[in-house]
Structure 1
């Protein structure tokens, strides 16, 4: 029996998540169920995709993830289960939620959920709660060993899975250009799509002072000198700092402050960050 991990944008203010737990326990009361998060902003497929990437590889092989951020529920979008290159399973609508996993981890197989078999009994007339009726039910059956992966449904070409537009960081002339990928929500830190490897290739070392610029479309919102450090302890309270975050990417923070709050910065493809090493060429 494998673990079942749930992620949604449902929140915990009503019974939606509890209903998913109930369905999973009805499949097998011994199933171990955990929460990734239920606080994905409503309809934010991008953040759902990122949180899977942030978390998945720290779970044992065979773990089944159910991710439901589904603004297209009830439409013709597909319901799928994929097997990743790391030997995890993800049950989700095919709406872009798999973008980060496909690009960063890899997806080896994909199958369309056959709802004639893998759907909660007596729920056929409900078209608005597939998280309960299709995804939690199928995920629980797979995790509990009631069905094999092949019994999920027909195979789907991995190349047909929907991907969101995802900018890539790059070295350009004398600078590194990227975007704000996501927020470290509770602390207001900015997580970029710039990898530590890109910093290494640019010969940026800890202790270097860098010029950091942030712009939304063409409007510049921040420009300052920031030191690249190992940890927050190497900066003073209230100072900005650059560091390597928990997914091995470059992040920007204010020591014991919210960078996002201080400068009204949000994540997304339009939020550009440029980093230049002073008195040197990248």
Structure 2
């Protein structure tokens, strides 16, 4: 295995939870290389955990092991699993929807239930509230270090049995593209949609076009304006909104050196609908 272990959680860094996970992994193998994906997932936000894995995973080499712990169901009957992707990477996680984007965009070849009789931190059997440390970090480190093989994680479960979140598809009809606000570029307040560049091409949209952008939440109009489709932020003036193609080849909405999300109180999810169509030019 690669000995690369990449961890994401909703724990934050204000206490010792993440450090404890590091300690467990290093106790398994002092030579393991541990990296943070993020520990700033909003509390209990499984959708964002799923998206951040998708945002990141394709840039890591084969055999990298990811541990994702956003687990509002800890201590319940939800399964603990390891998924092997079609690109030969591994994700150790609760089976609660965290694998949604990976299954859809990358593909999952096999899923195994973690056998906690074997793959659990010794002397932790009476603790049911910190599986991130006792099960996921321990199993992930053992897998990344080659202490166990994927087959030794536990029994197979059918991939179509794993939990998936509702994931709407973007569409184009009569020149109008409709999609969702999938996620925020949190630091800068940009909106990242589920509308890929190919769909924009299908609608005949080109750089420099003026586009009418409408954003709704539960059928309530939140925003409507005409924006320019730019290659970069240099194609707009300071404080001006624009559409652009983000790092995942999806359409994004931004304010040049401002936060679109904060300015218009935009959030994310299946109920946040964005519609885009070509219109007359901006002066």
Same topology, TM > 0.5: yes
**Helix, strand or coil at the partner of 2:139:** helix
**Helix, strand or coil at the partner of 1:273:** strand
Q: Note the alpha carbon deviations across 1:208-251, whole angstroms, 9 max, x for none.
A: 11000001111111111001111001111011110110111000
Task: Name 1:56's counterpart in structure 2.
Answer: 57
**Helix, strand or coil at the partner of 1:116:** coil
Query: Is contact 2:102–2:108 with CA below 8 Å preserved after alignment?
Result: yes
**Helix, strand or coil at the partner of 1:159:** helix
Q: Distance in 1 between matches of 2:242 and 2:87?
A: 33
Task: Name 1:201's counterpart in structure 2.
Answer: 202
Q: Note the alpha carbon deviations across 1:143-165, whole angstroms, 9 max, x for none.
A: 00000000000011000010000
Is 194-203 or 140-149 further displaced after alignment? 194-203
Task: Name 1:17's counterpart in structure 2.
Answer: 18
For structure 1, which runs of at least 5 residues remain unmatched after alignment? none
Q: Note the alpha carbon deviations across 1:32-85, whole angstroms, 9 max, x for none.
A: 000000000000000000000000000111100000000000000000000001
Task: Name 1:144's counterpart in structure 2.
Answer: 145
For structure 2, which runs of at least 5 residues remain unmatched after alignment? none
**Helix, strand or coil at the partner of 1:197:** helix
| 4+ residue segments displaced more than 2 Å | none
Q: Distance in 1 between matches of 2:160 and 2:201?
A: 32
Q: Distance in 2 between matches of 1:94 and 1:197?
A: 32
Q: Distance in 2 between matches of 1:183 and 1:86?
A: 26
**Helix, strand or coil at the partner of 1:71:** coil
**Backbone CA RMSD of aligned residues:** 1.0
Count of residues paired in the alignment: 280
Query: How far apart are 1:174 and its partner, in Å?
Result: 3.2
Task: Name 1:101's counterpart in structure 2.
Answer: 102
Q: Is the aligned partner of 1:30 residue 2:31? A: yes
Task: Name 1:262's counterpart in structure 2.
Answer: 263
Q: Distance in 1 between matches of 2:24 and 2:126?
A: 17
Q: Distance in 1 between matches of 2:87 and 2:246?
A: 21
Per the normalisation by structure 1, the TM-score is 0.98
